[in-house]
Amino acid sequence: MATEVEAQITGNVWKIEKQAGDSVVADEVILIIESMKMEIPVEAPCAGRIAEIRVNEGDSVEEGDVLVVLD
């Protein structure tokens, strides 16, 4: 079953650390959101493979937006 990773805060995608197809372990940083001059890491909630990254660096995101889908 797929797991959706959502933005926990409104901001801009500052850096994407992984690519679709990469394997991740729980708590591994997938991407970083910049908000209010702070860098907030977005971590994998569980181990899996990145099936899809739905954002690009520089994109604006809102709290609750789906950023990444894990298999």
14-53: pLDDT as tens digits: 999 999 999 999 999 999 999 999 999 999 999 999 999 9
What is the fold, at CATH topology level, of the domain defined by 3-70?
OB fold (Dihydrolipoamide Acetyltransferase, E2P) (2.40.50)
- For residues 65 and 7, is the Cβ–Cβ distance under 8 A? yes
Give the residue among 38, 42, 48 at the shortest CA–CA distance from 8. Answer: 42
Q: Does residue 1 have a pLDDT over 90? A: no
Global pTM?
0.92
Q: DSSP letter for 12, please.
A: E
What was the pLDDT predicted at 3? 96
In the chain, the amino acid numbered 64 is G
Mean pLDDT of 2-9: 96
